[in-house]
Amino acid sequence: MKNTPLLVLAALAVLFLQNCKKSSSDDATTTTTYKLSATVNGTSWTPDTLSATIVYNAATKTKTFSFNGNYLQRQLSCAVKLTDATATNDFPLSGYNVDATGNPLMTYSYWQKNSDGVYAFVPIATAGNNEGTVTVTSINAQSGLITGTFSFSHRQTNYDSDGNAVSITNTTVTSGTFTNMPYTFVSN
């Protein structure tokens, strides 16, 4: 009979320690999920600033999903425009390949002086027809979160002052993901 309170106390102590142990192991396995990431020319790239929007234009009945991510004076941008769209804060789950009109518009830019001498993001690579794709795989319109993938490439021939090709510059953006990326909805 004297051992019963000790056994109950020991059992409670074991349960308490198990709960503490479980809590600390949960914290140890928590990982950071980047909202936007890609591989640019073979190097991992994750922005330190990010913005994403879905904008509905009532006058033209277009809806555009766009995002910009910036890191170390580099920017990845994407804009997918839909025609005959509705004024809802969602976006269709689908794959969007860059077409002859440049939709979606996908660019990789450097922060540099533009032709007016003002610092701005100047595109060094823009996906051309069939050179890129954006796929929206899920959207939570209630929470304002969107998920998907993207990739594109750009090949530029560089010429000398006489018009002779002197080199080719290839820019590749692969393994691009946006995961539960927060977005804002604007209707105008």
Question: Of 18, 88, 3, 99, nearest to 54 (Cα)?
Answer: 88
Q: Is the peptide bond between 123 and the residue preceding it cis, with omega within 30 degrees of 0?
A: no
Q: Which two tokens stand for residue 17?
A: 């320690």
Residues 128-157 pLDDT 10s: 999 999 999 999 999 999 999 999 998 887
pTM: 0.77
pLDDT score of 19 more than 70? no
Q: How far apart are the C-alpha atoms of 126 and 139, rounded to whole Å?
A: 26
Q: Which residue has the higher pLDDT, 1 or 33?
A: 33
pLDDT band at residue 160 using 50, 70 and 90 as cut-offs: confident
pLDDT value at position 33?
Answer: 62
pLDDT value at position 184?
Answer: 96
